[in-house]
A and B are shown apart, each in its own frame.
Chain A
Amino acid sequence: MAELLKVKALSKSYQQRDFWLRKSIIPVLEPISFSIKAHKTLAIIGETGSGKSTLARVLVGAEQASSGQIFLNGQLLQDGSYKQRCQHIRMIFQDSGTTLNPSLTILQLLDEPLKLNTPFNEKKRTELIRTTLQKVGLLGDHMNFYPHMFSGGQKQRISLARAIILQPQVIILDEALAALDPSLRSQMINLLLDLQQQMGLAYILISHNLGIIRHFSDDILVLSQGSVVETGKTLEVMKNPQHKVTQKLLMNQNFQLKPVKKQ
């Protein structure tokens, strides 16, 4: 199976000018290369400030990469090709409460990407929104509601609906499951897995919760201070971590897994 998304030597650095207008360059991401296939999930873990979110933002096109190339289906994504990119690579954010515009109904919210990216007329767009809402486990009639009328889990489903409505190929989940309650979180995981099966989506999952990563992802990428320190199949890396950073991350989580039997 061909690679869906291929990233070659992608790097990101910020320039800063000090008082004397001297340039200083702050590297955030060292050159990174990886690839994802359809139906697969890549998990990215790392501590704060390791560049996980920057990587996500560069991939989705919210920030420009300093160097390197991104290929989608073997085709190079140019810097200005936002139209193509926002159709095929979509992102879900952590806090669903603040990413939905409170003054728009769900219909208007979901209509926006369709208006900008598709030639459909109004009737077809409404129909598409109805089926998409049903796909994520909501009712079609929910489209006339405002975001504040939904609970946190339902809002996250609407974010997911907004992500899949353009039939994308890659979805980036930036801590999208962290703010949900446990019972809603497992509902969401089931839904994401179902959609992956049906639509052949590739996910890039950024998360702290190693339990979810173990369950959900196929490959793993460990970042530390902007550079990749370990990659591989999730289960193999978790069983036998090589790098210090990975070991530390795993140890901290193992602390919390199961109650110790007390005598």
Chain B
Amino acid sequence: MNLLDIRNLSIELVNEKQNILAVDKVSLSMKEGEVRGLVGESGSGKSLLAQAIVGVLDEKWHVHADRFHWRGIDLLRLSIEERKALLSRDIAMIFQEPMACLDPTNTVGEQIAEAIDTNSLSGFFWQKQKQRHEGAIKLLHKVGIKKHSACLNSYPHQLTEALCQRVMIAIALARRPILLIADEPTAAMENTNQSQIFRLLASLNQLKNMSILLISHDLENITHWTNTITVMYSGQFVEAGTTEQIFNKPLHPYTRALVDSSPSANFHLPAKSRLMTLPGSIPILQHLPIGCRLGPRCPRAQQDCVKAPSVTNFHGHKVSCHFPLTPIKSPRKWLKGVC
């Protein structure tokens, strides 16, 4: 059974003049214990999608979905309160720029203690307080901070960025979530710190069987850590498959360009030669092209591309393109040929 099963989720920005479709029919499914990467450049709607899953979008945004299942429960049929209670128990999210997300006026200890579930505590209030403090220390140990007393008593600005991110992860772990959504957890971080954070997430995934949705704008950064990857472009679904499929045999021209444009992925390329790129820039929300939104930049675009392509599934490798790089034979046609 899938942990999370989303079919055709659309997010619309309601405006006085016109409604803007920021995310257009994106499907996403996650299995238990899986690390899935969600890759897209800026403006691809990946953060919006994550916020829609957690349910923190405000009223300007309208979210529709054909199917939205969480561990077999149809979330669309629940009332808002029930849905919130369920999701806040099972899903946690960490945001980019940890320094900006922590409360600067409270110490780290207070913020972690606040996140601990009251129902897990017992006894009189002084006992509860002590349990809270111990819980906070345990959480800090879990994310690899050994000097817990110094960390608990300091304010966010006194810690480094990587430590703040660890504190954020500790707060997210406080309710023992089943799914952790990490929205660019290592943006603007040093290499050494980046790999530390990724290693921590990977160990949490393996030890606690926690599923992780890892959001990033850079494909090459996360390939080492993910099992499966979903690629988005400008609010549309592009391609989904296992990391090897996406990286070694991309079907969509956009994924191909992403892989080719990273110099570290192409070791055979001589130094100072030209890199493969797509022409043009990412369209802004007010002027989205119709049909396939990659159309104006795509090297393989043809007349059919003014219609949005449907998703084709090929051994679990889903792609949304009229003219994929290696032509997919529809299994039904192939069967007809045999018969």
A, B bound: yes
- A residues within 8 Å of B by Cβ? 47-48, 151-154, 178, 181-187, 189-190, 193, 208-212, 214-216, 218, 234-235, 248-249, 252-253, 255-262
CB pair B190 A261 closer than 8 Å:
no
Q: Which residues of A contact B262 (CB under 8 A)?
A: 182, 186, 211
Are B258 and A214 neighbours in the complex by a CB distance under 8 Å? no
What's the minimum C-beta distance from B126 to chain A, rounded to whole angstroms?
A: 42
Closest A residue to B226 by beta carbon equals A259
B315 proximity list for chain A (CB < 8 A): none
Out of A182, A184, A215, name the residue touching B272 (CB < 8 Å): A215
The interface residues of chain A lying within 8 Å CB-to-CB of B153 are none
Assess whether B191 is in contact with A253, with CB atoms less than 8 Å apart. Answer: yes
Further contacts, 9 of them, CB under 8 A, given A190-B275, A211-B264: A154-B281, A182-B261, A193-B274, A211-B220, A214-B264, A215-B275, A234-B271, A235-B271, A255-B198
A115 to B219, CA, bound (A): 43
The answer to whether B192 touches A151, judged by C-beta atoms less than 8 angstroms apart, is no
For A152, list chain B residues within 8 Å (CB). Answer: 42
- Using A211-B264, A252-B195 as known contacts, say yes or no to A187 and B277 having CB atoms under 8 A apart: yes
Q: Which residues of chain A come closer than 8 Å to B188, judged between CB atoms?
A: 178
* Contact present for A181 and B257 (CB under 8 Å): no
Which of B41, B223, B263 has a CB less than 8 Å from the CB of A256?
B223
Given known contacts A151-B281, A151-B284, A252-B192, A259 and B247 CB-to-CB distance under 8 angstroms: yes
B269 contacts chain A at the CB level, 8 A cutoff? yes
Q: Which 9 A-B pairs have the closest CB atoms?
A: A211-B264, A215-B263, A186-B261, A181-B41, A186-B275, A211-B263, A252-B191, A186-B277, A259-B223
Contact status B272-A193, CB under 8 Å: yes
| Cβ–Cβ < 8 Å partners of B190 in chain A | 47-48, 208
- Fill in one digit per residue for B252-265: 1 if any A CB lies within 8 Å of its CB, else 0: 00000110011111
Contact partner, A189, options B219, B220, B275, Cβ 8 Å: B275
Specify which of B191, B258, B271, B274 is in contact with A182 (CB 8 Å cutoff). B258
Nearest residue (CB) in B for A210 is: B264
Interface size class of B (residues with CB under 8 A): 35 or more
Within 8 A of A (CB), among B231-290: 243-244, 247, 257-258, 261-265, 269, 271-272, 274-278, 281-282, 284
Q: How far is the CA of A240 from the CA of B209 in the complex (A)?
A: 38
Residues of A within 8 A of B223 (CB): 256, 258-259
Q: A15 CA to B99 CA in the complex, in Å?
A: 30
* Cross-chain contact A261 with B244 (CB below 8 angstroms): yes
Knowing A47-B192, A211-B220, A252-B194 touch, does A183 contact B264 (C-beta < 8 A)? Answer: no
What are 27 A-to-B residue pairs whose CB atoms are below 8 Å? A181-B41, A182-B219, A182-B262, A183-B277, A183-B278, A183-B282, A184-B41, A186-B263, A187-B277, A190-B275, A193-B274, A208-B190, A209-B264, A211-B264, A214-B263, A215-B271, A216-B263, A216-B272, A235-B271, A248-B192, A252-B195, A256-B194, A256-B195, A256-B198, A257-B264, A258-B223, A260-B224
A182 and B41 form a contact (CB under 8 A)? yes
Q: Shortest distance in angstroms between A221's beta carbon and chain B's nearest beta carbon?
A: 17
Name the residue of chain A whose CB is nearest to the CB of B254. Answer: A183
Residues B281 and A182 in contact, CB atoms below 8 Å apart: no
Residues 150-196 (chain B) with a chain A CB within 8 angstroms: 188, 190-192, 194-195
Q: Say if the beta carbon of B24 comes within 8 Å of chain A.
A: no
Return chain A residues, CB-CB under 8 Å to B195: 252, 255-256
A163 CB to nearest B CB, Å:
20
Bound complex: CA A99 to CA B190 (Å):
22
Which of B41, B224, B264, B274: most chain A Cβ within 10 A?
B264
Smallest distance from the beta carbon of B203 to chain A beta carbons, Å? Answer: 14
Return chain A residues, CB-CB under 8 Å to B281.
151, 153-154, 184
What is the CA–CA distance of A259 and B262 in the complex, to the nearest angstrom? 14
Residue of B nearest to A94 (CB): B188
Q: A252 to B199: give the CA distance in the assembly, Å.
A: 11
How near does chain A come to B212, taking the closest CB pair, in angstroms? 16
CA distance A153 to B42 in the complex (A): 11
Cβ–Cβ < 8 Å partners of B41 in chain A: 181-184
Q: Which residues of A contact B219 (CB under 8 A)?
A: 182
Contact A259 B275 (CB under 8 A): no
Task: Report if A181-B282 is in contact (Cβ < 8 Å); known contacts: A215-B269, A257-B265.
Answer: yes
Look across to chain B and name the residue whose beta carbon is closest to the beta carbon of A48.
B190
Q: Which residues of B contact A151 (CB under 8 A)?
A: 281-282, 284
Inter-subunit contact B258/A183 (CB<8 Å): yes
CB distance from A114 to the nearest CB of B (A): 27
CA of A183 to CA of B299, assembled, Å? 14
Residue of chain B at shortest CB distance from A193? B272
Task: State in angstroms the CA–CA spacing of A210 and B198 once bound together.
Answer: 18
CA distance A260 to B221 in the complex (A): 13
* B301 CB, nearest partner CB in chain A, Å: 16
